[in-house]
Amino acid sequence: MRSLLIIESDPLELRTISALMAEEYEISGAGDTRTAVGLMRPRRFDLVLLNLDPRDVDAGFAVLSAAATLDPAPAVVCVSACGDPGLIVRAGRHGAADFIVKPHTLPFLKKKLRDAAPVAPSRTARGRGSKDEPSALIGDSAAMRETRRLVALFGQYDFPVLILGESGTGKELAAREIHARSSRGASHLVTLNCGAIPSHLAESELFGTERGAFTGALSRAGAWERADGGTLFLDEVGDLAEEVQSKLLRALENGDMTRLGGCVPMRSDVRILAATNADIGPGSPASFRPDLLYRMNTLTITLAPLRERLEDIPAIVEFFAMEYCGGKEVDETGLRALQSYAWPGNVRQLRNTLCRAAVNAHDDPVISERHIRFDHREGRAERHWMPASPAFSPRP
């Protein structure tokens, strides 16, 4: 019988999981990470189930680091109420064999634990930027392999990156992976959705305000200042107010910025990642400064729409079925139906369609074609301007 160490600070939860797993594993429990590390050193566990508390992730990563030094190393499966992609990628970089987002079902948990062992021998030898690192960008098509290559490569540099692609292709996910794989991965990733900010508030949201800048204004840091030492991700940057673009250009050029209503320049160390699904190229209808565009697209990644990589659907479906559908399987008829659609909403639309199918299946453990509902009128996404990738993209 394989041995399992369960690390859970909630005594009731620890007892419950231990009782449910006792038929398959020889169980040991730890209520805190320090006790867990003490148990791991003299004893060799096959598996570790670690509740990764988002309020104290460093303690959880200490367990992952300790496990990686053991020979043989146990497979560590993380469980967390936080499903942030950045945290998932970071856990993978620290050696986690898998990551489960709460809430989950018991059959799903058991399957994840079975799949996690035995440990792949290369797992403990992975380093930053390794091709073997787990990626949240799923698929084995040529387009996705190239995307993962560029994500890993661009993570090693500190230049601005412009991420292009239609809505729902995973631009924010790519940005989070670039940040996680960079030297700034342990610092902040601050996200600002430029399309959701009214034009009159764009400057204050980006650069902050000084007291008295306008009626009711208080002294407050903006997104740029909060990202000091880390990364600022400007989502839908094509919607950024025109009057703010010149100030952003200056900040990109020399690192200096001034709060709205302030007069003292402030210097911050910020890396910029930006994404857009809009046409912001020269001659486009959008009012976007060409000099700012050329400054931001030092490095460029273009994410392929799902309709151009339909061969990735089975892998994506397997991931979504586990994460959102209680571990339900999708049979061949369901996969054929999903691969016959054009997916104008891309991966986001696929996820939502699969969640609806899981609800339609209800008590049926298998999702088939009869459970899948979508508009069969094939949607055609508008073609967007995509600049050619810059010459600087050396292969590792």
Q: What is the pLDDT of residue 165?
A: 94
pLDDT category of residue 128 using cuts at 50, 70 and 90: very low
* CATH classification code of 157-302: 3.40.50.300
Percentage of the chain beyond pLDDT 70 is 87
Whether the pLDDT of residue 380 is over 70: the answer is no
The neighbour count for residue 248, using CB atoms within 10 Å, is 26
Buried b (16+ CB within 10 A) or exposed e, 194-209: beebeeeebbbbbbbb
- Could you read off the pLDDT of 255-270 as tens digits, one per residue? 888 888 777 778 888 9
Q: Is the pLDDT of residue 123 over 70?
A: no
User: Taking residues 102-128, what's their average pLDDT?
Assistant: 61
Greater confidence (366 vs 105) lies with 366
105 pLDDT band, cuts 50/70/90, is: confident
Element (H, E) at 2: strand 2-7
Domains 2-125 and 157-302 share a fold: yes
Say yes or no to pLDDT of 395 above 70. Answer: no
Q: How far apart are CA 223 and CA 301, in angstroms?
A: 23
Residue 243 has pLDDT above 90, yes or no: no
Asked if 269 and 360 count as a contact pair (C-beta separation under 8 A), the reply is no
Q: Is the peptide bond before 103 cis (omega within 30 degrees of 0)?
A: yes
Angle between helices 142-154 and 171-180 (to 10 degrees): 40
Fold annotation for 2-125: Rossmann fold (3.40.50)
Q: How confident is the model at residue 216 (pLDDT cuts 50, 70, 90)?
A: low
pLDDT value for 69 = 81
Looking at per-residue pLDDT, the higher value among 19 and 125 belongs to 19
Query: CATH second-level architecture of 306-371?
Result: Orthogonal Bundle (1.10)
CB atoms closer than 10 angstroms to residue 371: 22
Structural domain spans, the chain? 2-125, 157-302, 306-371
Q: Give the angle 150-382-337 at the CA atoms, nearest 5°.
A: 80
Model pLDDT, residue 200: 78
The answer, yes or no, to whether residue 379 has pLDDT greater than 60, is no
Per-chain mean pLDDT for the chain? 82
Q: What is the DSSP string of 36-92?
A: HHHHHTTS--SEEEEE--GGGHHHHHHHHHHHHTSSSPPEEEEEES---HHHHHHHH
Pick from 77-91, 274-288, 297-311 the range whose average pLDDT is largest: 297-311
Residue-wise pLDDT tens digits, 247-256: 899 888 888 8
DSSP annotation string for 270-329: -EEEEEESS--STT-SS---HHHHHHHTTEEEEPPPGGG-GGGHHHHHHHHHHHHSTT-E
Nearest to 312 by CA among 347, 354, 277, 280: 347
Give the confidence band of 202 by pLDDT, cuts at 50, 70, 90. Answer: confident
Distance CA 30, CA 10 (A): 10
Note the pLDDT of residue 313. 94
pLDDT tops 90 at residue 159: yes
pLDDT value of residue 208: 84
Least-confidence region, from 22-31, 117-126, 232-241, 244-253: 117-126
Give the SS3 label for residue 26. strand
Check if the beta carbon of residue 305 is closer than 8 Å to that of residue 166.
yes
Contact 267, 258 (CB under 8 A): no
Percentage of residues of the chain with pLDDT beyond 90 = 32
Using 50, 70 and 90 to split pLDDT, how confident is the model at 126? very low
Average pLDDT for residues 36-44, to the nearest whole number?
82
Average pLDDT of span 62-85: 85
- The dihedrals phi and psi of 2, each to the nearest 5 degrees, come to -75, 155
